[in-house]
Amino acid sequence: MANTEAALKEAMASIEGSLGVALVDYASGMALGTLGGSKDLDLTVAAAGNTDVVRAKVRTMELLGMKDEIEDILITLGHQYHLIRLLKGPSGGLFLYLALDRARANLAMARHQLKRIEADLEV
């Protein structure tokens, strides 16, 4: 089992094209940990903003009566992928947020690695 810091380091080191990663509480919008980012990618602001995305999707699923779970949410930008992976189990209410450089990232591998990191994460 990995703690938050180790999980974020693993994401940055093992996922090709990683620009930044955060563990976020979507009840509060607070980032519990961040790694990476830049002057153009403030992970604290991204964490809060993507909390709204998660809340909107959860609310929409409830309104539709969908009895399913969100595995991940992908936002595709011109030069980046933003991947939001909701944590399952006792860590519910949290998500991993990963920003990737589209030119260097393999989206399928990034999703696979993020799923593996989630499985090892102990919060």
Amino acid letter, 104: R
When pLDDT is averaged across residues 34-39 and rounded to a whole number, the result is: 94
Enter the tokens of residue 12. 């940055």
The CATH number that applies at residue 110 is 3.30.450.30
| pLDDT for res 88 | 85
* Nearest CA-CA partner of 49 in 12, 22, 10, 78: 22
pLDDT tens-digit series, residues 81-110: 999 999 987 667 899 999 999 999 999 999
CB within 8 Å of 42: residues ≥ 6 apart: none
Q: Is 0.85 surpassed by the pTM of this model?
A: yes
Enter the tokens of residue 92. 């519910």
| pLDDT for res 1 | 54
Q: What is the SS3 assignment for 17?
A: coil
What is the C-alpha to C-alpha distance for residues 22 and 46, in angstroms, rounded to an integer? 9
Please, are residues 35 and 8 in contact by the beta-carbon 8 Å criterion? yes
Q: Give the helix/strand (H/E) hosting 32.
A: strand 30-36
Q: What domain range is 37 assigned to?
A: 4-120
Report phi then psi at 28, rounded to 5.
Answer: -105, -20
In the chain, the number of structural domains is 1
Q: Give the helix/strand (H/E) hosting 83.
A: strand 80-86
